[in-house]
A and B are shown apart, each in its own frame.
Chain A
Amino acid sequence: MIILFYLSSGLFLGWSLGANDAANVFGTAVGSRMIRFKTAAIVASIFVILGAVIQGAGASHTLGKLGSISTLAAAFTVALSAALTVFWMTRLKLPVSTSQAIVGAIIGWNFYTNNPTDLNILTKIVSTWVSGPILGGIFSVLLFILIRKVNQKTKIHLLYRHSYIKFGLLIVGAFGAYSLGANNIANVMGVFTTAITLPTIDLGFVSIDSTQQLFLVGGIAIAVGIITYSKHVMETVGNTLMPLTPDAAIVVVLSQALVLFIFSSQTLSNSLQSIGLPAIPLVPVSSSQVVIGSIIGIGLYKGGKEIKYNILGSISLGWIATPIVAGIMAFIMLFFVNNVFKQNVGTNNLIETKIKVVKGAATTINISDSTYTGINQTEPIVNDSIINKEKRITQRDTQSASKTKLIIIWIELLIIIILAFILIYYLWFRNKKTNKLKLEYNLFKEKTLLKVGSLKKRIVEKELRQENLGKELKFRQNEMVTMAMSIIQKNEFLENLKREIIKIKSRVSDHETRLGLNKLSLMITQDLSIDRDRERFQLIVNEQSNNFNQRLTDRFPKLTDNEKRLIALLRLNLSSKEIASILNISPKSVEMNRYRLRKKLQVEPKTTLNDFIRKF
């Protein structure tokens, strides 16, 4: 149970690795809906575990050489500090890598326990951080050229090609997941391998040793991270650096898998050594950075226009900032665990070794003493004093050496802390500035959107009002037209009546009847000339065209009332014949009036009078 508690920090690290780094393997495939998340998660989980158990030892061994963490409490603290660094830096949106965090935390432990950091191993590790992305870029360019050539040479149907890519993404993704497990399990469980020893499980056909059991647990933690949280990352990361086609995606994943595989394959390293080539450093490398290297490789091959180059600066900052932050955090946490919780976080191996050497020397001398005892009894006193003197000298030497070393370490540590604080402050400041700019931008965007929204609303309201007014106007116009039509019809009827009366009058000889008919005809004529309906209609027209009349008078002050009346009727789109009927004049007169009006209003030859009035 206590082991599980101590392992929890490593498991947390594994979970976050699974959640974030699985997107490097299946991100594009899932993001572009080529592969379903469920399939991707199952394949990735299985192959991550397989990679961790089968091939995880190599990279872990190198981390062990950097700092052999011997106690469980120290391993827990180192893993926790790496996990917290990753968590904290991710929260601050700073570039971070689990591999770099764990290396920094181990160096922090080395500092705290006064263990020397093997500079050769450190150089080897740091060089892979740089060479990993570069190698990824080279692989991706080569693979991209190859895939292009294959596409051009073979006339595969577009849909078959898509299926092959889909299938290929799954296979390459499985290989990528295997390599991720093999290479990055060292980050998760590497620090626990020397602190925890478990009995070997013999399954008959295969036996699983202590390290493999730890890697299995770590692999499961990564798998849990993939299943529970990577979906969100896969769907959102997508094309952060550069938009990727499915062809490019398969190339990126394959080159990443190859790089991770190369940096974790003991067999490959041994075979290179056997043919006289230098061994490959088996080191955990950041899968995200290799992916970035691969994408940049393709981008450069395509001309480099689509690449966001500032991401390169972020990677470089990540190389420096992550280990320093993790190292400081590990140092501080180890201090607390050691002094507050009184847990053994490991000892100075160098001092221990020297003491062992001294003890060994003393024993040798003692053995030789015993051989001498039988020969000369006076010698022991002399020998004792010599041995004590030697012991004291050696102890003094060792103490003074360790004191000098301690002072140097403290000075180095102080410088690193100062540098780290400056760096963190810079990163924090930069981040704050970016956030502030983002906030301002968002605020501005929101304000603009609000303004646009309110303007749109006002436009809609205005349009609605205009529409309503238009409808009302149309209704009124229709009303007026109807009224005009009824007047026209009535007048036509009266005209016909008058004509009939005149006809009857010509046939009738009776004087009285003729007088009566004359009277009737006169009445009709009077009604036609003094028509109340017409007056009412004119009143309505004037009322409706109040503004229009005002505008008309302002612009053309010389217009007579009759002309204004004609304009009002023309505005209703009535024909000359209809107007003639309403005004009780002949159509020819209307035409003449129109002609005069045209002259007065100075209407251009191309424009019709009706159009001019309607647009006025």
Chain B
Amino acid sequence: MSVLFKNVKQLVFDIDNYIDTVEQGTLVFKEGIVNYLKGEKSSFAEKIDTITQLETRADKLQRKIDNQFYHHSILPQNVSDIEIMLDKIDELIDISKDILYQFDDELPFIPKELVNDYLRLADASCEAALTCFPATRTFFREPLKVRDMLVKVYFYEKETDKLARNIKRKLFHEMPDLRLSEKIHLRYFTLHIETISDKAENLADMLSILALKMSI
């Protein structure tokens, strides 16, 4: 019997591994932001290396999963939906890596008054993504429970929006000493960090639709 389901077993393992990799990537991203904000340069560089490796691994796994789905004709009716979902998961690690590189390349100046705000923003945004991963795992086992699990994602996404708005307001209303170029620069970085939660929300939307589709 195990011989019969060998391919499926491998695929299940790879999907779990893939989700784990992206989840690790999100955690590394969160730590990377903390490192940057606290000025821990060597740790930050380390995080960039780690996230690059994780992203490469995730890409490889995604390609392998794609091949397995089509090669062994597994779930032929839902494969395209699942592929889109995996793409959306991949976007999370891709964007996380890009943002860390942007921090590294552009070295945005973050005033001390805003460090805590940025920490909270990164935390909320990453939390939205991190709540998505258990829901993704549950989708494969108990699709009906997914919708309940996604409530947290929407909550954190809204929180991120609020925090980002606060930062932008502070930048343009309460910090006259900052140059306009610096304000605009920081505004973009707020937007970048916010993107993680937006992407998590997209993934959550996709998951809830897919779960509904599967349970019919």
What CA separation (Å) do A32 and B78 show in the bound complex? 11
Closest Cβ of chain A: how far from B78's Cβ, in Å? 8
With A33-B76, A34-B73 as contacts: A160 and B8 at CB distance below 8 Å? yes
Is B73 a contact of A163 with CB atoms below 8 Å?
no
Q: Name the CB-closest residue of B to A160.
A: B8
Q: Does A206 contact B (CB under 8 A)?
A: no
Q: Name the CB-closest residue of A to B68.
A: A159
Chain A residues whose C-beta falls within 8 Å of the C-beta of B144 in the assembled complex: 152
Q: Does A246 contact B (CB under 8 A)?
A: yes
Is B74 a contact of A162 with CB atoms below 8 Å?
yes
Is B214 a contact of A158 with CB atoms below 8 Å?
yes
Is B73 a contact of A159 with CB atoms below 8 Å?
no
Q: Choose, from B37-45, B98-106, B135-143, the stretch at the interface.
A: B135-143
Chain B residues whose C-beta falls within 8 Å of the C-beta of A34 in the assembled complex: 73, 76
Annotate A140-179 by CB proximity to B: 1 below 8 A, 0 otherwise: 0000000000001001111110110001000000000000
What CA separation (Å) do A155 and B11 show in the bound complex? 17
Is A159 a contact of B77 with CB atoms below 8 Å?
no
Is A155 a contact of B77 with CB atoms below 8 Å?
no
Q: Which of B75, B76, B214, B216 has the most CB of A within 10 A?
A: B75
Is B141 a contact of A157 with CB atoms below 8 Å?
yes
Q: Name the CB-closest residue of A to B72.
A: A163
Is A158 a contact of B77 with CB atoms below 8 Å?
no
Chain A residues whose C-beta falls within 8 Å of the C-beta of B141 in the assembled complex: 155-158
Of residues 3 through 37 on chain A, the ones whose CB sits less than 8 Å from some CB of chain B are: 32-34, 36
Chain B residues whose C-beta falls within 8 Å of the C-beta of A152 in the assembled complex: 144
What CA separation (Å) do A167 and B4 show in the bound complex? 9
Q: Does A575 contact B (CB under 8 A)?
A: no
Chain A residues whose C-beta falls within 8 Å of the C-beta of B76 in the assembled complex: 32-34
Q: Does A404 contact B (CB under 8 A)?
A: no
Chain A residues whose C-beta falls within 8 Å of the C-beta of B140 in the assembled complex: 157-159
What CA separation (Å) do A159 and B139 show in the bound complex? 11
Q: Does B178 contact A (CB under 8 A)?
A: no
Per the CB 8 Å criterion, the residue count for chain B at the interface is 19
Using C-beta atoms within 8 Å of the partner chain, give the interface range for chain A: 10 to 19
Annotate B125-153 by CB proximity to A: 1 below 8 A, 0 otherwise: 00000000000000111111000000000
Q: Does A228 contact B (CB under 8 A)?
A: no
Chain A residues whose C-beta falls within 8 Å of the C-beta of B75 in the assembled complex: 158-159, 162
Closest Cβ of chain A: how far from B184's Cβ, in Å? 25
Closest Cβ of chain B: how far from A251's Cβ, in Å? 14
Q: Does A245 contact B (CB under 8 A)?
A: yes
Closest Cβ of chain B: how far from A239's Cβ, in Å? 11
Closest Cβ of chain B: how far from A37's Cβ, in Å? 12
Chain B residues whose C-beta falls within 8 Å of the C-beta of A157 in the assembled complex: 12, 140-141
What CA separation (Å) do A32 and B77 show in the bound complex? 7
Chain B residues whose C-beta falls within 8 Å of the C-beta of A162 in the assembled complex: 8, 74-75
Of residues 90 through 132 on chain B, the ones whose CB sits less than 8 Å from some CB of chain A are: none
What CA separation (Å) do A161 and B143 show in the bound complex? 12
Chain B residues whose C-beta falls within 8 Å of the C-beta of A246 in the assembled complex: 77
Chain B residues whose C-beta falls within 8 Å of the C-beta of A160 in the assembled complex: 5, 8, 12
Of residues 1 through 47 on chain B, the ones whose CB sits less than 8 Å from some CB of chain A are: 4-5, 8, 11-12, 15
Q: Which of A157, A160, A167 has the most CB of B within 10 A?
A: A157
With A34-B76, A157-B140, A158-B143 as contacts: A163 and B5 at CB distance below 8 Å? yes
What CA separation (Å) do A32 and B141 show in the bound complex? 22
What CA separation (Å) do A246 and B214 show in the bound complex? 11
What CA separation (Å) do A155 and B143 show in the bound complex? 10
Chain A residues whose C-beta falls within 8 Å of the C-beta of B77 in the assembled complex: 32, 245-246
Closest Cβ of chain A: how far from B177's Cβ, in Å? 35
Q: Name the CB-closest residue of B to A33.
A: B76
Annotate A34-47 by CB proximity to B: 1 below 8 A, 0 otherwise: 10100000000000
Closest Cβ of chain B: how far from A158's Cβ, in Å? 5
Closest Cβ of chain B: how far from A43's Cβ, in Å? 15
Is A159 a contact of B8 with CB atoms below 8 Å?
yes
With A33-B73, A34-B73, A34-B76 as contacts: A163 and B142 at CB distance below 8 Å? no
What CA separation (Å) do A156 and B15 show in the bound complex? 15
What CA separation (Å) do A160 and B8 show in the bound complex? 7
Chain B residues whose C-beta falls within 8 Å of the C-beta of A156 in the assembled complex: 141
Closest Cβ of chain A: how far from B127's Cβ, in Å? 26
What CA separation (Å) do A32 and B11 show in the bound complex? 20
What CA separation (Å) do A399 and B126 show in the bound complex? 99
Is A163 a contact of B4 with CB atoms below 8 Å?
yes
Chain A residues whose C-beta falls within 8 Å of the C-beta of B5 in the assembled complex: 160, 163
Closest Cβ of chain A: how far from B161's Cβ, in Å? 32
Closest Cβ of chain B: how far from A115's Cβ, in Å? 53
Annotate B69-86 by CB proximity to A: 1 below 8 A, 0 otherwise: 000011111000000000
Q: Name the CB-closest residue of A to B1.
A: A167
Is A159 a contact of B12 with CB atoms below 8 Å?
yes
Of residues 486 through 533 on chain A, the ones whose CB sits less than 8 Å from some CB of chain B are: none
With A33-B73, A34-B76, A246-B77 as contacts: A163 and B216 at CB distance below 8 Å? no
What CA separation (Å) do A242 and B9 show in the bound complex? 32
With A33-B73, A159-B12 as contacts: A245 and B216 at CB distance below 8 Å? yes
Closest Cβ of chain A: how far from B169's Cβ, in Å? 29
Chain A residues whose C-beta falls within 8 Å of the C-beta of B15 in the assembled complex: 159
Chain A residues whose C-beta falls within 8 Å of the C-beta of B4 in the assembled complex: 163, 167
Closest Cβ of chain B: how far from A497's Cβ, in Å? 43
What CA separation (Å) do A75 and B140 show in the bound complex? 57
Chain B residues whose C-beta falls within 8 Å of the C-beta of A159 in the assembled complex: 8, 11-12, 15, 74-75, 140
What CA separation (Å) do A152 and B215 show in the bound complex? 9
What CA separation (Å) do A158 and B73 show in the bound complex? 14
Closest Cβ of chain A: how far from B208's Cβ, in Å? 15
Q: Name the CB-closest residue of B to A248.
A: B216
What CA separation (Å) do A54 and B144 show in the bound complex? 45
Closest Cβ of chain A: how far from B14's Cβ, in Å? 10
What CA separation (Å) do A245 and B215 show in the bound complex? 10
What CA separation (Å) do A160 and B9 show in the bound complex? 8
A sample of 26 inter-chain contacts (CB < 8 A) reads: A32-B76, A32-B77, A33-B76, A34-B73, A36-B73, A152-B144, A155-B141, A156-B141, A157-B12, A157-B141, A158-B139, A158-B140, A158-B143, A159-B8, A159-B11, A159-B15, A159-B74, A159-B140, A160-B5, A160-B8, A162-B74, A162-B75, A163-B5, A163-B8, A167-B4, A245-B216
Across the A-B interface, give the 6 residue pairs with the lowest CB-CB distance, nearest first: A33-B76, A158-B140, A163-B8, A155-B141, A162-B75, A159-B8
Q: A34-B76, A158-B214, A245-B77 are in contact. List 7 more A-B contacts (CB 8 A).
A: A36-B73, A152-B144, A157-B12, A159-B11, A160-B5, A160-B8, A163-B4
Q: Which residues of A contact B (CB under 8 A)?
A: 32-34, 36, 152, 155-160, 162-163, 167, 245-246
